[in-house]
């Protein structure tokens, strides 16, 4: 059955309505990293799966983990349980997750290593992820949207070039000044792989797609344009050309006023704002071009109580009357008490 036919008969998701530009009296809500270590049921499945990567590639368990937050909280969307680093993995870079340290990609990509990346068979290696998408969509109520995702090329490139989490952002700016052709060749490979990957997620049943550019901030305006804005726009345009009905959200973290550049072309359906962004500014400068997604500092959800409540209500009131999706200004952290998440969702729902 085609997606369009399905939505005619069944209740339409609030998230998709907001993404199509309709302001919702009660905005849709979902949370970045809503599936993860702060949930005891996640920790249980994670232990059963073995490594984090084993979990990402086990579609039965990944489906279970994707659905956990939707079962526990009244959120409007599930986000596919996977990781942005499955793309370098599918390209042939060695990937592991080291407890307490984060991802390790070995060897780090150098000019010589770039030739070893294999662009063929990327989709084949990622097949279990598309199965997770299909299984999750089949189990999810039609009023809930399923969000697929990929890392933006720059953010994925930072991990590939640094061999793990970026410790010294200056070294990557220096790498670009030293050899722009090499960095851009890597970006091009990632743009191409991400387009294929996102289209395949849409075809497997993802209702909307998000691009995470966690490391977009802290660069010069010119580098932001070259390394983040343009590669993301290339992906959005290619995906929308192939699948015009699938909305795309971009989340360029830490870019401040440069956020405007990401919505200049109207193909991007929504832009995520992080917790450093002034919501009033975002409403004035961004909301006439795209739906806005985002909200408070995730650390306020660790703290909970009146401070969290005030922050949530602040965002809800700033974005009244414009297409808005409630979320946090970055992902939930492992030390978050699940009760605070339940309370947060309740505040949004009962505004």
Q: Which is nearer to ligand CP3, 104 or 351 (CB)?
A: 104
Q: Which is nearer to ligand CP3, 312 or 328 (CB)?
A: 328
CB 148 within 8 A of CB 62: no
Q: Tell the smallest beta-carbon distance from residue 323 to ligand CP3 (Å).
A: 22
Q: Tell the smallest beta-carbon distance from residue 331 to ligand CP3 (Å).
A: 4
Closest CA to 296 of 320, 322, 330: 330
Q: Which is nearer to ligand CP3, 35 or 209 (CB)?
A: 35
Closest CA to 286 of 314, 257, 312, 315: 257
Distances (CA, A) of 3 to 12, 127, 194, 271, 281: 11, 21, 22, 24, 35
- Catalytic, out of 12, 33, 349, 351: 33
Q: Which is nearer to ligand CP3, 55 or 183 (CB)?
A: 55
* Sequence-ordered list of residues with C-beta below 8 angstroms from that of 93, at least 6 positions apart, any chain: 105, 106, 109, 117, 160
Q: Tell the smallest beta-carbon distance from residue 99 to ligand CP3 (Å).
A: 7
| Separation CA 19–CA 249 (nearest Å) | 8
| Separation CA 227–CA 334 (nearest Å) | 30
List, in sequence order, every residue forming a beta bridge with 272; answer none if it has no partner. 293
Residue 351 falls in the annotated catalytic set: no
Closest CA to 291 of 73, 14, 52: 14
* ω into 127 cis (within 30 of 0): no
Q: Tell the smallest beta-carbon distance from residue 333 to ligand CP3 (Å).
A: 8
Q: Tell the smallest beta-carbon distance from residue 82 to ligand CP3 (Å).
A: 6
- Catalytic, out of 159, 176, 315, 324: 159
Q: Which is nearer to ligand CP3, 43 or 119 (CB)?
A: 43
Give the CB-nearest residue to ligand CP3.
214
Widest CA span in the chain = 56
Q: Which is nearer to ligand CP3, 102 or 107 (CB)?
A: 102
- Catalytic, out of 38, 42, 46, 176: 46
Residue 159 falls in the annotated catalytic set: yes
| Separation CA 164–CA 94 (nearest Å) | 11
CB 132 within 8 A of CB 66: yes
Residue 179 falls in the annotated catalytic set: no
Interface contacts to ligand CP3, rule CB under 6 A = 32-37, 46, 52, 79, 81, 83-85, 97, 102-103, 149, 151, 155, 165, 212, 214, 331
- Catalytic, out of 38, 42, 83, 261: 83
Task: Using the CB atoms, write b or e for 172-183: b if 16+ within 10 Å.
Answer: bbebbeeeeebb
Active-site residue list = 33, 37, 46, 83, 159
């Amino acid at each position: 059955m085609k997606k369009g036919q399905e939505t005619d008969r069944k209740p339409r998701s609030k998230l998709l309505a907001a993404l199509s530009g309709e302001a919702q009296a009660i905005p849709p809500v979902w949370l970045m990293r809503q599936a993860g270590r702060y949930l005891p049921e996640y920790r249980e499945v994670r232990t059963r799966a073995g490594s984090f990567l084993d979990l990402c590639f086990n579609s039965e368990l990944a489906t279970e983990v994707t659905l956990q937050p939707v079962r526990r909280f009244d959120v409007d969307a599930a986000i596919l349980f996977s990781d942005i680093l499955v793309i370098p993995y599918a390209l042939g870079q060695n990937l592991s997750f080291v407890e307490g340290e984060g991802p390790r990609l070995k060897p780090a990509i150098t000019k010589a290593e770039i030739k070893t990346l294999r662009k063929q068979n990327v989709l084949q290696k990622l097949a279990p992820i598309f199965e997770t998408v299909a299984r999750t969509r089949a189990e999810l109520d039609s009023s809930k949207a399923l969000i697929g995702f990929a890392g933006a090329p720059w953010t994925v490139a930072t991990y590939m070039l640094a061999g793990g989490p970026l410790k010294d952002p200056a070294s990557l700016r220096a790498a670009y000044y030293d050899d722009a052709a090499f960095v851009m060749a890597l970006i091009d490979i990632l743009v191409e792989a991400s387009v294929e990957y996102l289209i395949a997620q849409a075809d497997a049943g993802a209702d909307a797609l998000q691009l995470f550019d966690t490391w977009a901030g802290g660069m010069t305006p010119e580098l932001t344009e070259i390394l983040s804005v343009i590669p993301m726009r290339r992906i959005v345009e290619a995906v929308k050309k192939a699948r015009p009905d699938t909305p795309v959200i971009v989340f360029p973290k830490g870019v401040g006023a440069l956020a405007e550049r990401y919505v200049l072309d109207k193909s991007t359906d929504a832009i995520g704002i992080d917790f450093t962004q002034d919501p009033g500014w975002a409403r004035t400068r961004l909301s006439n071009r795209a739906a806005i997604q985002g909200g408070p500092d995730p650390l306020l959800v660790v703290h909970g109580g009146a401070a969290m409540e005030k922050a949530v209500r602040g965002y809800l009131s700033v974005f009244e009357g414009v297409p808005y999706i409630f979320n946090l200004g970055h992902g939930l952290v492992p030390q978050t008490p699940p009760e605070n998440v339940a309370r947060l969702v309740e505040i949004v729902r009962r505004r």
